[in-house]
Amino acid sequence: MQNPSISFPHIDQTGALKTLGDWVRFCASQMEHQGCFYGHGFLTPWDEARFLVLRTMKLDWDVPEAALAATVLSVEVDALYQAVQSRCVSKIPTAYLLEEAWFMGEPFKVTPQVLIPRSPIAELVAARFAPWLMHEPANILDLCTGSGCLGVAMARVFPTTAIDVSDLSHEALSIATENISDKELGMQIQVYQGDLFAGLDEKKYDLIVSNPPYVDQDDIDDMPEEFHHEPRMGLAAGKDGLDLVHKMMAQAASFLTDGGWLVCEVGNSAVAMMDAYPQLEMIWPEFEHGGHGVFIVSAVELQKLQN
C-alpha cells in the first residue's frame, strides 16, 4: 500500500542522482515507499530496481557490480525517471515496461496482451516431468500458452518432441509466434488458435501442460494493482476460479494417449479443485523455488470423468 506521506519526487529533485547505482537505490526506495508488489519475476525491490535501471539503459542485467558506479548522462535521465515513475506510481510491472521477461534462463517478449511468465511448472519442466513421464514424449500440448513460455521451455528440454501451443487470444498468439520465431523453434512448435481443445481435432498427446486462467472472484477483487495491468482473460475464471479448468477436465482424456498425463496449475483454487474431484487420484507436487497449486493427473484417471 502507498505511503501517503511520501509523494513521488519531481524530476527536478533527482539531480543528486549521479550514477546507475544511485538510480537503482532511488528506484528500490521508491518501490518500497509507493507500496509496489513483487510478484512478477522478482523477489526483492533491489533485484527489480537493478533490472529496470540496467535494461532501460540497454545494459545486460548481470553486468559486473562495478558498472553501477558509472555516471548517468543528462540525456539519459528522462528515460530513467519515466521508467521508475511508471513502475512506482502507475504500478506497471517491469516486464511490461521493458517488454522483456526471463523464464527458465531465457528472455521472452511480453506485452500487456500476455501474462508475465512465472509458472512454477518450470520446475517440473526442468525435471523432465520425472517421475511421472517415463519416456521421451512424442507430442506435447501447451494449452493456454500466452507468451509461449512453457511451450518454448519444453521444446528446450525435449528437442525431438513435437510441441503444439494453443490459446484463445489472437493477440497473445501473435506474441507467442514472435517468441517462437525469435528462438528459431518454428519447425518444432506449431501454434493453434481456439477455445481450449477446439481446432485440435483427432490429436493425441503424451503430455498436456496448462497454466490456464484460474483466479477466483475473491482474489480478483483483492489483487495488487500490478496484476490489473495483465490481461483479464489470462487471470479471471469465475467464482471458484475453475470455469475453464472444469471444461478442460471433461475433455482432456480424449486428447491424451493412454499413458499420458495432464499437468495443470490452479494456484489458490486448489482447494476448490480437490473438493470438485474427490473421485480422482491427483498429485500435488511441492516446489523448491516457490509456487503451489499445480496438479498432475493421469489419462486413466481422467477417463473416469467420461463414464
Ligand X SMILES: C[S@@+](CC[C@H](N)C(=O)[O-])C[C@H]1O[C@@H](n2cnc3c(N)ncnc32)[C@H](O)[C@@H]1O
By the criterion CB under 6 A, which residues form the site for ligand X?
114-115, 117, 119, 144-147, 149-150, 167-169, 172, 195-196, 211-213, 233-234, 244
CB of 196 to ligand X, least distance (A): 5
Q: Count CB neighbours of 152 within 10 A.
A: 27
Residue 175 in grid coordinates: 506474441
Q: Which residues of 211-230 are buried (b: 16+ CB within 10 A; e: fewer)?
A: bbbbbbeebbeeeeebbebb
Alpha-carbon distance of 182 to 184, in angstroms, equals 5
The residues near 98 (Cβ < 8 Å, ≥ 6 apart) are 51, 52, 55, 56
Q: Which is nearer to ligand X, 150 or 207 (CB)?
A: 150
Name the residue whose CB lies closest to ligand X: 146
Is 257 buried (19+), middle (13-18) or exposed (0-12) by CB count in 10 A? middle
CB of 75 to ligand X, least distance (A): 36
CB of 213 to ligand X, least distance (A): 5
Alpha-carbon distance of 152 to 158, in angstroms, equals 10
Cα–chain-centroid distance for residue 292? Answer: 14
Q: Which is nearer to ligand X, 22 or 164 (CB)?
A: 164
CB of 169 to ligand X, least distance (A): 4
CB of 149 to ligand X, least distance (A): 5
Residue 156 in grid coordinates: 528446450
DSSP β-ladder status, 189-193 and 205-210: unpaired
Q: Which is nearer to ligand X, 21 or 146 (CB)?
A: 146
Tell me, what amino acid is at 182? D
Q: Which is nearer to ligand X, 117 or 137 (CB)?
A: 117
Q: Which is nearer to ligand X, 52 or 245 (CB)?
A: 245
CB of 148 to ligand X, least distance (A): 8
Q: Which is nearer to ligand X, 81 or 129 (CB)?
A: 129
